[in-house]
Structure 1
């Protein structure tokens, strides 16, 4: 009986390992398939050129997000993101927004790798309609580690902002990790297929930035930048 149970446990663990390996392979393969649009002309530092509007893609090892100026190309977020949403409204004086999308429980509960718990990861992978946008107010992050510059044309920037704005849902925001950020109700469904990094890739593809067809992992986003 004991050997029988050991064989079942070993079989289950082997199946889980195989699924994880297949998921990893599929994610890396999907991230290698080009999608989006052609790079803008006059390439400079990062994707894009020396003219246009500079944005950034940030990567903390778990989540990727998009950092963009609050006002550019006659586009903005003033009607969606307000100073009063922050624990300390003074931080709204910064001119840039960091925006990422993800599962509410996973996003709020895992600001770093040290906060990751297997149960949280498993629940998020199964899928959840409780999704949020994490929005932080900050100065321009030029030169910081884990931050990648991307130059957009005004038309690309407007498409990017329109796609991000469409991810907001009605509802009350809640305070974030500190005094300068907040979580907002969002549209969509989080799963092992539609991860926070897949959302980042989708937003960039909507703007016409060259990007992988499916970007479930941070590296599948940043490898294109």
Structure 2
């Protein structure tokens, strides 16, 4: 019994130590600022948007650089509203997106598979008529060149078919009438989360970001 108790105790202590180190690293690397690229023009308006847990990158649907409605058609949403002016793009675990509409419905199996990269990922794209700046939505001005780098980062996140087209996920798990899901590259895990992806998107286009963060609070800390 003593041996079993020691094994259990060591296991519990090991888990506690791991969680503590993870949270410490998340805190320290979140407040470690990656400074924005200086000396650039303000050509394109983008936003970072959070629901309190998950960060999206919001871009204009149409600009002189690209037209996102050609890559992710309005017709893939149930509302098919072609007047939307902004597109919020987020990356995350496919199980979370499709099977967990609210935190109260989160299953242990879904969380476990996501944390340890045992699931696949998806892109969630939501069309908006307008964006309103507040504590959960911050405006960022970037140059056309920086926007091209952001576009490349997002495009590289999509899984594509043999013809090079993004793959729309047919589902009834949409959050509303203006969103759609797409197959994505890479696997979600506790070290590379939806917020890590968004933070890396900011890095890709030369904007203020964290060194690393798994949480949305790390990103928005730098945009108070």
TM-score normalised by length of structure 1: 0.85
Contact 2:168 2:180 in 1 (8 A): no
User: How far did residue 154 of structure 1 move?
Assistant: 1.9
Structure 1 match to 2:206: 208
Instruction: Tell me how far 1:36 sits from its aligned partner.
Output: 5.7
Cα displacement string for residues 157-184 of structure 1 (whole angstroms, at most 9, x for unaligned residues): 2211221122111223234222111110
| Count of residue pairs brought into register by the alignment | 215
2:22 is the alignment partner of 1:23: yes
Gap change, CA 1:146 and 1:40, over 3 Å in 2: farther
CA RMSD of aligned residues (A): 2.3
SS at match of 1:89: coil
Task: Please state how far the C-alpha of 1:208 moved relative to its aligned partner.
Answer: 0.4
Distance 2:184 2:129 in 1: 24
- Runs of 4 or more consecutive aligned structure 1 residues displaced over 6 Å after TM superposition: none
Separation in 1, partners of 2:23, 2:179: 31
Q: Does 1:224 align with 2:222?
A: yes
In structure 1, the gaps of 5 or more residues are 42-48
Tell me, in whole angstroms, the C-alpha distance in 2 between the residues paired with 1:100 and 1:119.
22
Paired residue secondary structure (2:122): strand
User: TM-score w.r.t. structure 2 length?
Assistant: 0.85
Aligned to 1:46: none
**What is the rounded CA distance, in whole Å, between the counterparts of 1:54 and 1:69 in structure 2?**
7
Q: State the secondary structure of the residue aligned to 1:87.
A: coil
Aligned to 1:115: 105
The 8 Å contact of residues 30 and 212 in structure 1, kept in 2 or not, is answered as yes
Distance in 1 (alpha carbons) for counterparts of 2:118 and 2:64: 34
Structure 1 contact 33–213 (Cα < 8 Å) conserved: yes
- Please name the residue that 1:124 is paired with: 114
Instruction: Please identify, of 51-60 and 181-190, the stretch whose mean Cα deviation from structure 2 is larger.
Output: 51-60
60, 80, 83: which one pairs with 1:93? 83
CA deviation after TM superposition for structure 1 residue 95, in Å = 0.9
